[in-house]
Chain A
Amino acid sequence: MTVLFTAGLIAYLAGAVAGIAGVRAPRRARIGAFSFALVGALLEIVAAIGALAQGGVTAWTLPSGVPLFSWAIRVNALSAYFNLTLGILAAAVSIYSFGYVRAMEGRRNIGVLGCFYNILLLSLTLVFVAGNAFFFLVAWEVMALAAWALVSFEHEKARTRRAGMLFLIMSHAGSGLLLVGFLILARASGSLDFATFHHAASALPAWQQGAVFLLFFLGFGVKAGVVPLHVWLPEAHPVSPSNISALMSGIVIKTGIYGMALVFFDFFDAPPAWAGILVLGAGVLSALLGVLYALMEHDLKRLLAYHSIENIGIILIGFGAAMVFRALGHPAMAGVALIAGLYHTLNHAIFKSLLFLGAGSVHYSTGTRNMEEMGGLIRPMPVTALCFLIGAVAISGLPPLNGFVSEWLTYQALLAGFGSTQTLTRVIFPIAGALLALTAALAAACFVKAFGISFLALPRSENAAQAHEAPLSMRLGMGFLAAGCVALGLGATWFLPVFDPITEQLIGVRASSALTAANGFAISAGAPHAGTVSTVGIAAMLVLLSALPALFWLVWGRAGRRATGPTWDCGLPGLTADNEYTATGFSKPFRMIFSALYRPRREIQAEYEVSPYYPTAIRFESEIEPSFEKRMYDPLRGWLYRMAGRMRSVQAGSIHAYLAYIFVALLALLLFGVRG
């Protein structure tokens, strides 16, 4: 296993080298980099499955060459689970990339793309298995830099450069918080090893516990895209090439989730109850605001990026509930809630990557990300459309696919929460459940819009009319993930035992047997009689019941003729794409109902010659206010600039002044040392 794992890392390294070696030979760079990435991903999948099957902790140290600090690797159930998620995505995205990147040959530097792609995969793998704080932060930084390089890949566009810079700044602000958090823990435990951090945070005094929790929650929250730390996400995810977007939304933001799981359930024994409620509240807020902003987007990839914020929120609802249950002393219920969060982590990784790859295929063949210029793509791109539809059904949480299973488990955890305590706090669980239902319904509305406007009806532009299906490798990559959505939905009960070693490691319970009913046919809510659901049963019944309409057709319908005709056009001369409902129109009711949040602004200019009733040209402009940027980040940035302006007087640029600073600093340190 150790061998397989290391071999995977070496494959990624080889991929990075192959990429950089092929800067002048794009074809060789492409095939080399993505082949090695695929091999590495497959090796990591096998290694992760092995680690999960074996259970326990495998730890070893790589030769480092740096005194004091060691490259300690620690593979436990939690890291193996995240590595499995990473491996599945990396495999699918690498297959997809063979075709997707080919179109860039001769136009872009594919060698650099392949190199950073492999470095990103390598650093992600190391983040999930790092065994001490130092190694973790190094891997974390390499990941951030590789991701930044990939986000800024199309750097000739000013918007891309700005998005990359925003990502880099936010990411480093988060890293700074993590560093302080790790230092507090290291001081308490006397070591940087994660093994010594186990339950160390709970031994701290109460205010330090609070500080450690907040530092890590904010630090990892930036990476995960928790509202209000999410502003970089909808900027950075859409501007990168789509295979990179798939990885960013699929797994890079999940490093924040991994970190939270590590801190909240491993470093803390049981975090204070208010911390759990805070995480739950942040989850609900992220879920709701994420989907509300997604509804207003007409850029397909930005829409998907906002949905990542929503789904991170849903994951945090599970995590928050698990934390509250632990604080209240209900480990079995905490197990169900934690499984709900972790299952949704994998599910979201799969369907979100699938949707991003789908958006990439659309961009590949139409050259646009604007939904108002798509339409009718289901005919030229049947496979892409079907895969995107499966992803849309899954992300909307509809049965029998995987999104439904994890949302069902989240509802059950929230329902159980009402009985967990007698105080008024228990009301928050059903309220959170109701808001989760609102989120899910809005997500369904948003994906009716995303799929309906992009893939159905008439093409809305010349490019959409001349669209063609994506090449085989891209279809294979998407098909692989679509199959994953179906398998994780129908096979949920067979997948649940995977969580046993994780929950045992983090909270000391094995929950899968309580969560299965009727010999694995149905998922149970954990407690006896608390409710069951069977995705296999639902799927089977859906197929069986289809016999009924078929029977009606046999008995009555055969006589009827089936003709095609024009769509009803109210007597106008022919329906064109201009008559179709637009994405803007589709989301108009939401824009009006939630106008307190959006603060929409619109401008209509009509030109006319004779009467305003016969305009010759109309210009329509509509936008919503980016509230967080305007009300939170702009003042913050202004304050930072002012502070920086004052600091400028210290930076005089004179060598004498700097020598004086060094002298004073040295003196102060000496005095401090003597006193100590």
Chain B
Amino acid sequence: MTGALLKVVAQLVLLLMLAPLVSGFIKTLKARLQMRRGPRLLQSYSNIHKLLRKGMVIPETASWLFSATPYVVFVATLLAGLMAPMVVADTPIGLFGGVLAVVYLLGLGRFFVALAGLDAGSPFGGLGSSREMTVSALAEPTLMLAVFTVAIGAGSTSLAEIARVAINQQWRFLAPSQALAFAALFLVLIAETGRIPVDNPATHLELTMIHEAMILEYSGPYLALIEWAASIKQLVLMTLMINVFWPFGLSATWSPAGVLAAFGWLALKLLLLSCAVVLVETANAKMRLFRVPELMAVAFTLGALALISTFLF
């Protein structure tokens, strides 16, 4: 019991501490690639710390839902993160839910943020909510196709089971079905985490924004919780991708040496994936909103091909 509790706490701390670092790294690297100095690597931590200590302004028109949403989205995203394997294949609370529960818990958070966007009565919030729900609805079938491809390969929706199967077949990511599913998931990652070319995380008060528009009315600790949750969501999706498709170094047990090595591998793999995200962000311009369905159609086709190649190979 205490062992299980320790594992939960360890993964909780890892999620909370690593997520701002990944976001910060992406921001810094992107700035460097664009010949800017950019914020320092640890700026995200300072931002969260600053926001948590500040006061906040609640819109007059907002209801209790506005205040409840930061808690719901923060807690739901954290719980999704606890279900995902990070350094050890055996997730601490794998019994509570597998990959479907992760997808739906992230959906729960999004549902409440979208409602809160409408709550303040500002047209920006409604605009953001409408677009966020559109983009996520278009990304959802691809996400589920990739999930199904992986789950069919492992014969299970349990993430611990999927990771275990993946560890035993280290080179499986070269198989056509896995490579195609990975490509499809990468497009979903870009759409779900609000990155260029789907959304621009660096803008405020611009008509192209999606996620930032929804949370425009948030300030202080509530904003800290929501932004923290967004970076945790990004970390969870990235970890899922790399641990399911590239299980190198993922530890099978909780032995200290294994965990330490696995942590190193995790950091390295996150670094590589973050570089890929930054390259895509830097090399592309933001798409018009109504071009996003085409990108998602490409992702869906990749997912469907992945599935069909499971059948062929």
Contact = CB atoms under 8 A, between A and B. Distances in A.
B221 A560 contact: yes
Interface in B49-68: 49, 52-65
B78 A593 contact: no
Contact of A431 (B63, B130, B304): B304
B151 A415 contact: yes
Contact of A580 (B74, B126, B158, B307): B126
B96 A560 contact: no
Nearest to B113: A448
B76 A542 contact: yes
Contacts of B56: 560-563
B75 A546 contact: yes
B195 to A, nearest CB: 19
B96 A579 contact: no
B137 interface: yes
A529 B151 CA distance: 11
A538 to B, nearest CB: 6
Interface in A161-180: none
A442 B137 contact: yes
A564 B59 contact: yes
Nearest to B126: A581
Nearest to A558: B53
A581 B75 contact: no
A80 interface: no
Given A424-B311, A518-B95, A549-B225, A567 B127 contact: no
A419 B155 CA distance: 9
Interface in A573-591: 575, 577, 579-581, 585-590
B105 A452 contact: no
Contact of A565 (B59, B156, B157, B290): B59
Nearest to A575: B121
Given A397-B104, A542-B76, A586-B130, A433 B122 contact: no
A564 B57 contact: yes
B59 A412 contact: no
B148 A448 contact: no
A517 interface: yes
Interface string B270-312: 0000000000000000000110010000001001100110010
Given A534-B95, A593-B290, A586 B129 contact: yes
Given A458-B121, A556-B52, A586-B126, A437 B158 contact: no
Contacts of A545: 75, 78-79
Interface string B86-111: 00000001111111110111011011
Contacts of B104: 397-399, 404, 408
A548 B78 contact: yes
A430 B130 contact: no
Interface size class of A (residues with CB under 8 A): 35 or more
A304 B63 CA distance: 24
A517 B95 contact: yes
Contact of A589 (B79, B101, B125, B130): B130
A334 B265 CA distance: 43
Contacts of A448: 111, 114-115, 118, 129, 133
A598 interface: no
Interface string B121-149: 11111110111011011101111110011
B58 A565 contact: yes
A449 B126 CA distance: 9
Given A529-B155, A580-B121, A376 B95 contact: no
A529 B161 contact: yes
A35 interface: no
Given A448-B133, A593-B138, A567 B55 contact: no
Contacts of A39: none
Nearest to B216: A568
Contact of A593 (B110, B111, B124, B134): B134
A563 B57 contact: yes
A113 interface: no
B53 A560 contact: yes
Nearest to B56: A562
Contacts of A538: 79, 96-97, 101, 105
Contacts of A564: 57-60
Contacts of B304: 431, 434
Contacts of A442: 137
A241 to B, nearest CB: 29
Given A378-B65, A532-B158, A593-B134, A457 B58 contact: no
Contacts of A412: 157
Contacts of A397: 104
A530 B157 contact: yes
Contact of A533 (B71, B100, B118): B100
Given A444-B107, A568-B216, A531 B61 contact: no
B200 to A, nearest CB: 17
A567 B122 CA distance: 7
A446 B113 CA distance: 14
A381 B103 CA distance: 32
A158 interface: no
Interface in A505-554: 517-518, 521-522, 525, 527, 529-534, 537-538, 541-542, 545-546, 548-549, 552-553
B79 A585 contact: no
B194 to A, nearest CB: 15
B9 to A, nearest CB: 11
B212 interface: no
Closest A-B pairs by Cβ, 6 of them: A581-B126, A531-B157, A452-B118, A437-B144, A445-B133, A561-B55
5 contacts: A415-B152, A457-B119, A531-B151, A538-B96, A564-B57
Given A457-B121, A560-B55, 6 more contacts: A430-B149, A444-B111, A533-B97, A541-B93, A552-B52, A577-B121
